A = this chain, B = another copy of it.
Amino acid sequence: MIKPRTPPGIMELLPREQIAFQRMLDVIRRNYERFGFLPVETPVFELSEVLLTKSGGETERQVYFVQSTGALANAAADAEAGKGDGGPPELALRFDLTVPLARYVAEHEHELSFPFRRYQMQRVYRGERAQRGRFREFYQCDIDVIGKDTLNIRYDAEVLAVIHAVFSELGIGAFRVHLNNRKLMRGFFQAQGVTDPQQQALVLREVDKLDKRGADYVRDTLAGPDFGLPAAAVERILAFVAVRSQSHDDALARIDAALAQAGADAGEALRAGAAELREVLGLVKALGVPESAYCLNFSIARGLDYYTGTVYETQLVEHPEIGSICSGGRYEDLASHYTKSRLPGVGISIGLTRLFWQLREAGLIAGIAESSVQAMVALMDEARLDQALDIARHLRAGGINTEVQMEARKVGKQFQYAARAGIRFVVLAGEDELARGVVAVKDLAREQQFEVSREELAGTLRVELEQARALAGR
């Protein structure tokens, strides 16, 4: 007898949890499609040579390698024969959706229309050290717009509108998209005399310690021997990274202020970044995103070696401790390892497995949903099985997800089962009801019972379910 268990670092759900999770996936998919993004799925494994384009990167990324029984036997035989290291296994599990997207776009370049707008919602794999809230298998829900040669800055605004649409419909509380621009950031640091990109990165790393170590520590470090920045520059840097705009107009004013402060020192990067941010803000407004849902945050940097323009992070207003729930940005070139074509893009990612776990831990979602089964046809007498099946058939034809009790049991037991399973309606048809062409319906949500003709049953339940959906804002 083998103990049934999953490997560590896996989130496996019970059915009603799975339904809650699936509803979140559905909301995300619906909104991605609403904005015109097209579905893509890629295989769970890629050729290692294709996936791991940077040498030495495997360890960082904690990749899972894949070998068939045959490949494993061959490798063992080679090792035994002293043929030594045949290199890493041929296949590896994807660790994100970005590298597979790059491979996909480069491979199918001539069959796609650009700008190419794709969404992808699949699981990815990382051999993380097992710890609470860290998953080795998790869903990523990504969108990207990929241009050929160029990609208009306007898409950066549209992506922000998608974030807004998704999290509005998910209904997990007030949220705000924090917006920044890497060019503006780079230009600002240049104006402060920090011109080397690596030095900028080191300064930002110190700035990141503000919350933990306090302003004095950071001020002393930046002014100290390691950095040697003038005190005035340090103050300007600390003021800059503290910027959080309070409204749309305030955001525009903050951009103007950054430019004004740099004055004659304002270089091309700062001007370009400011112009991009202004355009993005203007279009975000035109797209109808309310100004409470976005702000400038000049401390947001994201992956320094990857993003080159707009960057986004999204926070729950009441729960900043959860961190960013949706991040992304603009990059220069998606697939330089695979094609000579220049493919700039902008995209975001939602790590849904972790988000679901965090929301549940924080008590922001119940973590279980009503059943996907909407009605249960009870069976009180074996002799009436055929009628029960017929009622179920009509309910299903009318669009109601219906389970039928296949064996007669005490009616109390059947109600208990339905309540525990999260099924809203229990349909009963005793001899008396059948004779009158009606059924009795018990609504477990409202704790009411009513009678309805068999012809009107499905329609009645459909109306009730649609009302509930409308009330829940779904």
How many Å lie between the Cα of A339 and that of B58 in the bound state?
39
Looking at the assembled complex, report how far the CB atom of A378 sits from the nearest CB atom of chain B, in whole angstroms.
13
Q: Give this chain's copy count.
A: 2
Looking at the assembled complex, report how far the CB atom of A73 sits from the nearest CB atom of chain B, in whole angstroms.
9
Looking at the assembled complex, report how far the CB atom of A106 sits from the nearest CB atom of chain B, in whole angstroms.
4
Known: A104-B12, A385-B154. A338 touches B286 (CB 8 A): no
Partner of A40, one of B15, B93, B392: B15
B contact residues around A85 at 8 Å (CB): 76
CB closest chain-B residue, reference A338 = B4
Tell whether, in the assembled complex, residue B286 and residue A389 are in contact, meaning their CB atoms are under 8 Å apart: yes
A132 within 8 A of B: no
A177 within 8 A of B: no
B contact residues around A330 at 8 Å (CB): none
B contact residues around A205 at 8 Å (CB): none
A7 within 8 A of B: yes
Partner of A33, one of B67, B104, B372, B406: B372
Tell whether, in the assembled complex, residue B104 and residue A43 are in contact, meaning their CB atoms are under 8 Å apart: no
Partner of A107, one of B5, B7, B104, B125: B5
How many Å lie between the Cα of A36 and that of B375 in the bound state?
9
Looking at the assembled complex, report how far the CB atom of A150 sits from the nearest CB atom of chain B, in whole angstroms.
10
Tell whether, in the assembled complex, residue B64 and residue A67 are in contact, meaning their CB atoms are under 8 Å apart: yes
Of A194-202, A358-366, A397-405, the one contacting chain B is: A397-405
A-B contact pairs, 15 of them (CB 8 A): A4-B50, A6-B46, A6-B107, A12-B42, A19-B39, A22-B39, A34-B399, A34-B400, A36-B404, A44-B44, A65-B69, A66-B93, A72-B89, A158-B404, A165-B396
